[in-house]
Amino acid sequence: MTKIVGTHPPYLSPDYRSSVLRAPSQPPVVFAADPDAIELTGPVFGHDELGALDADLTRHHAGEPIGERIVVTGRVLDAAGRPVPGTLLEIWQANAAGRYAHEGDRHPAPLDPNFTGAGRCLTDEEGRYRFVSIKPGAYPWRNHHNAWRPAHIHFSVFGTAFTQRLVTQMYFPGDPLFPYDPIFQSIPDPAARERLVSRFDLETTVPEWALGYRFDIVLGRTPTEES
Amino acid sequence: MTVLLPAEGAPPTAVAVTPSQTVGPFFGYALPYGGGPDLVPEGHPGAITITGRVLDGAGEPVPDALLELWLGSTGTRGALGRGGPGVSGFGRCPTTQDGVYRFRTARPPGPYLALLVFARGLLRSVATRVYLQDGPDPLLDALDPARRATLIAEPDGEGYRFDVRLQGEKETVFLEF
Ligand SMILES: [Fe+3]
Torsion over CA of B56, B59, B63 and B67, rounded to 10 degrees? Answer: 60
CA-based nearest residue to A52, from A127, A120, A153, A123: A120
Residues of chain B with C-beta less than 8 angstroms from the C-beta of A167: 20-23, 118, 125
Three-state SS for A22? Answer: coil
Distance CA A98, CA A221 (A): 34
- What ipTM was reported for this prediction? 0.95
Q: Would residue A149 show up in a list of annotated catalytic residues for this protein? A: yes
Predicted TM-score (pTM) of this structure:
0.95
Distance CA A78, CA B18 (A): 10
Distance from CA of A72 to the nearest CA of B (A): 16
Query: B3 pLDDT band (50/70/90 cuts)?
Result: low
Residues of chain B with C-beta less than 8 angstroms from the C-beta of A192: 16, 19
Between vectors from CA B90 to CA A157 and to CA B96, what angle results, nearest 5°?
A: 85
Q: Among partner residues A37, A82, A195, which is closest to B18 by beta-carbon distance?
A: A195
Are the Cβ atoms of A92 and B81 closer than 8 angstroms?
no
Report the separation in Å between the CA atom of A141 and the middle of ligand 1, taken as the mean of its atom positions.
10
Could you report the per-residue pLDDT of A78-93, keeping only the tens digit for each?
999 999 999 999 999 9
Which B positions 74-103 lie with beta carbon below 8 A of chain A? 74, 78-81, 88-90
B62: left (phi over 0), alpha (psi -120 to 50) or beta: beta
Residues of chain A with C-beta less than 8 angstroms from the C-beta of B127: 28, 39, 162-163
Q: Would residue A154 show up in a list of annotated catalytic residues for this protein? A: yes
Report the separation in Å between the CA atom of B22 and the middle of ligand 1, taken as the mean of its atom positions.
9
Distance CA B28, CA A139 (A): 18
Are the Cβ atoms of A39 and B70 closer than 8 angstroms?
yes
CA-based nearest residue to A195, from A114, A109, A74, A64: A74
Could you report the per-residue pLDDT of B37-65, keeping only the tens digit for each?
999 999 999 999 999 999 999 999 999 99
